[in-house]
Amino acid sequence: MRAPFQILAIPYRFVNQVPVYCVFHRIDSGEWQFIAGGGEDNETPLQAARREVLEEGGILANRMMELKSMCYIPTNIFPKMHLYNWSEDTYVVPEYAFGFECTEEIKLSHEHTECMWLSYQDVYEKLRWDSNRTALYELNCRLKKR
């Protein structure tokens, strides 16, 4: 059963000591976003993030950076919400954001048509969701301080 929260996971790597980020093109909506998905019963957001990264990118992400960026997602974007057994007054769910260094090659799942490694500005311009932009901004700031 799907837990009432969402995760967002941002893959990054360094090229010539500058961070680049991987953004994914969703097959169902045609939008560009980071790895996103819902938790399953009894999963923590961190456990859900690791599972989603493995499912959507084929990456075993053992070390994830929890970001402070957090938002709430309206439940009407979930097409199967009626199957989730959430309380009737669940109108929004929290989205927890993570970053992880990705040194492996990404293996796309059936949920995406392609992915691209891009600079901060180029990724920022492709993203539709403000939550993705905010989490990217925070991660970029944190990586610059390393």
Read off the pLDDT of residues 87-116 as tens digits, 9 standing for 90 and up: 889 999 999 999 999 999 999 999 999 999
Alpha-carbon radius of gyration of the chain: 15
Tokens of 55: 């499912």
| Greater model confidence, 128 or 84 | 128
Distances (CA, A) of 97 to 16, 32, 65, 71: 26, 16, 9, 9
Residue 119 half-sphere exposure toward CB, CA atoms < 13 A:
5
Predicted pLDDT at 84: 82
For residues 78 and 102, the answer to whether their CB atoms sit within 8 Å is no
| β 2-15/92-101 pair status | parallel
CB atoms within 10 A of CB 95: 21
- Tell me the three state secondary structure of residue 72: strand
Q: 2-144 in CATH: which number?
A: 3.90.79.10
CA-closest candidate to residue 98, choices 42, 59, 41: 59
The pLDDT-based confidence of 146 (bands split at 50, 70, 90) is confident
Backbone angles phi, psi at 144, to 5 degrees: -65, -25
> pLDDT digits over 27-84, tens only?
988 899 999 999 998 999 999 999 999 999 999 998 999 999 999 999 988 877 677 8
Predicted pLDDT at 59: 95
Predicted pLDDT at 114: 96
- Tell me the three state secondary structure of residue 105: coil
